[in-house]
Structures are given as C-alpha cells and as structure tokens.
Amino acid sequence: MGPSWYWMPDVFENYFSQFNTTVAQQYDLLRLDPSYAVFFSKDEVMRVPANSNEFYNLFEKYEQGSSIQLKKFLADAKYKYEISMSDFVHKPSLSIFEFVDLRILNAALKMDLFKSISKYIHKHFKNQKLIQLLEFPVLFLGAKPNQTPALYSMMNYADIVLGTWYPMGGMYKIVLPFIGNVYICLEKIRRCLHSVYYLIL
C-alpha cells in the first residue's frame, strides 16, 4: 500500500524552501488525531492522541507519575532533534572535518551515543506498554531498540510533538512537486552544459 507515515514536517519545509516555495503551496496537510493506534490485543487498543495534555493523561493511565518523566524525556528528545537537524543531518559528510567544531563535539557528548535507547527508555518508565510505544519508532530505522543509540529518542519527539500528518489526496501529492523540481534542476544543468559548450568553442 506504500508509505503511510508523514513525520518531521520541518524536513519537507526545508526541502521546498530551496525551490522558493512552501509545503502549503504544494499540498494540504492534515494532522491526524489520534496520530495512530497500537493494538496490544484484539480487546486492548491504545489510541495515541495528538494533543500533548491528552498524551500526558494517557501515560498517567498506564503508570502513575509517568507524565513528569515524559516531559523530561521529551525535553531531552527535543534537544537531540534540534541539534541533529541543525548541525548534523544537513551536512554533506564529505569530510570528518565538517564536524570538528567544539560546539558540535560538546553537543555530541550530550546525545547519549553510547547508551541504547532501550536502556534509556527503561530508565524513565516501568510500564511495558509505554515502553513498547516509545521503542517502536526506531523500527523505522531498521534496527532493534537494544542495538540503537539513545540519540534516536529524537524520533519520539518527531512522533509525539511534531505529529503524524496526512497529505490530502494521498502520498502521491508529495511526489508531484518532487517531479516538478527534478525538471527545474535538469533545466539548470542543461543551461550550464550549454554555457560550458560555448566556452569550450
């Protein structure tokens, strides 16, 4: 059935900004509420709310006092997400020297690179269902929670805070402007090659 998750909307905004446009100009987005549902059994379904207060209440339903831990957990996840997106993700990674910066190295030390996300989540929560809910986003990385750095709690921030969205008309609506941008790039390349051709002559 194809992709069914639209997370990290800021990544799409950043992409379209490079073509002097916005997501809103390309397609309509709807934030889903509930974001999704988790089926623990035929009779037990956890519907994950988009509203933050409702999300905190959901955690309290399963584990008393867990909403306090969740706020701390998400504050840390937000830090990891923002540092990762601003200082790591968008670098071309052509050389290790791109990351030789005291500010970046200092940030890296705070991002739990050497602790598994499974241990990190178990440190904050005891209820097994809440643990499973927080561990599942790393499956998108094709990894197991006990083999994935706790850095990737940033995925929980993407899930819980930034939300799950749906492009009206289906995922195909995202593809159409991408195709248009490819043609824009090809035209620029054609013009450059045309100019180089005449310079050589």
Q: 78-101 pLDDT, tens per residue?
A: 999 998 888 777 777 677 666 666
With bands split at pLDDT 50, 70 and 90, how would you rate the model's confidence at 1?
A: very low
Q: 159-192 pLDDT, tens per residue?
A: 999 999 999 999 889 999 999 888 888 888 887 7
Q: What is the DSSP letter of 169?
A: T
Q: What is the mean pLDDT of the chain?
A: 88
Global pTM value: 0.84
Q: 61-84 pLDDT, tens per residue?
A: 999 999 999 999 999 999 999 988
Do residues 140 and 155 make contact, with C-beta atoms less than 8 angstroms apart?
yes
Per-residue confidence (pLDDT) for residue 189, from 0 to 100: 81
Would strands 29-31 and 165-167 be described as parallel, antiparallel, or unpaired?
Answer: antiparallel
- CA pair distance 14, 21, nearest whole angstrom: 10
Tokens standing for residue 178? 């991408």
